[in-house]
Structure 1
């Protein structure tokens, strides 16, 4: 598949999804329940997303020390986990749509941003290998 998300949109999305994840228990009305995973998982992933956005090597990263390829991978991994968490931790009877939507968005943005290894094959440079060693 072809990448269709610009790196600028991805960098902006990082901060937006971090704030939405951090506030999602109250934003979507499931913060009043005394359910640990439903309350804590979006908040933990929100803080994780915010820290990665601040340290990532993209346009809106402040410290620019975290490789963008690793950020893409962790977005896909964390989004997949968030997507499945209501059934893994058995709180789907309380809420599951916010986790499914936000987890799906993380997977889509991590996989389909230009430069992501999920959709862009790595470039291999052939330096001649063993054939050039034996020619000399």
Structure 2
């Protein structure tokens, strides 16, 4: 499987960032508080800021190399995937931890075939 073009990657980054910001409300765990809410919201902000600063078609400031952007995407995916265990909310109801794991898996699986 070939990596997605940077133009498509850029078009996906902004909605993904917004989705992560809204995830606690969308999946009904905003009242949980703590890391369960902070992790997706923080990563959402980072995704949007990183996208604005990346040297690709969707970037505005264009100072961040795409290679660094992709490495940050891997790190964000891994953090999302393992955050329920790292931050102690894996015993919470499934609507709290499953979105983190699912989002992390999607990011990592989608990125695996690509080259850094």
- Taking structure 2 as the reference length, the TM-score comes to 0.87
Higher helix share: 2
Q: Distance in 1 between matches of 2:106 and 2:8?
A: 13
What is the CA distance between 1:65 and its match in structure 2? 0.8
* Counterpart for residue 21 of structure 2: 22
Let me know the Cα RMSD of the aligned residues.
Answer: 1.5
The aligned residue for residue 127 of structure 1 is none
Answer with 1 or 2: which has the greater Rg: 1
Relative to structure 1, the CA distance from residue 57 to residue 108 in structure 2 (aligned partners, 3 Å threshold; closer, same or farther) is: farther
1:7-86 mapped onto 2 (5 Å cutoff)? 7-33=6-32, 35-86=33-84
SS in 2 for 1:96: helix
Q: Which runs of 5+ in 2 are unaligned?
A: none
SS in 2 for 1:69: helix
SS of aligned partner of 1:39: helix
Tell me the alpha carbon deviations over residues 55-95 of structure 1, each in whole angstroms, 9 at most, x when there is no partner: 00111111111100000001001110110001111212232
Q: How far apart, in 1, do the equivalents of 2:107 and 2:62 lie?
A: 20
- Normalising by the residue count of structure 1, what TM-score does the alignment of the two structures yield? 0.76
**Segments of 4+ moved more than 6 angstroms:** none
In structure 1, stretches of 5+ residues that fail to align are 118-136
Structure 1 stretch displaced more, 98-107 or 15-24: 98-107
* Partner Cα distance (2:103, 2:50) in 1: 16
